[in-house]
Structure 1
């Protein structure tokens, strides 16, 4: 048999099929870098947003804390001021009432003082003595009674010191003591003359 004939086929491969396009490779690298930069930028923005949210959260918590403190202080001061205003109003009312009472008391005492200062037992004649004594004693006893009532009234107030150390009004005198005083006053001139006559007699 004749020997087999070998056939050789030459395959031509284009350079573009075996070699990578440099421009295409560079363009792909730029895309990756660009995406990385975008991702990095987005990450930084997210981080900044997170930090901003954290800051706003802290500020909100601080403001809420201050608001709670304000509300607590507001409630406390409202109660304290309201109570103080009520007590002050009551104190002012009582002080004004006491001032009114003192003014009435002063007017009353001034009237009694004028009447008592006008009494002049030395100028009373024997005929007028009994009548004048009755009138004078009534004036003095009336003043004593009202003075005692005033002292008792103001004993529970800040004006109690006005009447401190001064005796209260005397109890009304009995009929016997009044008659005794009147009789003594009526017979005082006679008793005085008798005593003087006795002294003169003894001296002789």
Structure 2
């Protein structure tokens, strides 16, 4: 489960970058996730990508007074922009540069891409049906951000009796924190206590490569 590793979140010129946020924590995820995906494909695992994106008229972003719409106004949802590649684009709008997966992690043939219009990848999407058709029961999570889209999807996965495993070094957070508070660590703690498990990508890669070799 590759959660929202898209240009709006992790690339220069994307939504978070335009909002003045430090996107380096998300950019730092790209190399370890790339290594994990390579091992996962060798082991024959299903790779599922998610993209948070909306219709160009924002008709699926909630009413004007909905929490989702209100909270995204400061992030310029739906704003027309010129992407770094020169194309005309829109913030958090599907079929644009902004919502494309970052090039280094681009989906490959056979991968599944889920378009979602809320934080959870299970909300009003075919994800649950896709996983159950394939008899999946364990989901390995990577991506961003830890406390919002990753956590929202993990919680919904737990409620549907999947077994979520979140990789600590392949998830990241942009919400400002001081020495006493970390949304990233708080989410990992909650998952470890009640919603699933956490692990390091190196351990998972080692297991996957051993399985592929076997």
TM-score of the aligned structures, taking structure 2 as reference length: 0.18
Q: Which has the larger radius of gyration?
A: 1
Higher relative strand content: 2
Structure with larger RCO (C-alpha < 8 A, sep 6+): 2
TM-score of the aligned structures, taking structure 1 as reference length: 0.18
Higher relative helix content: 1
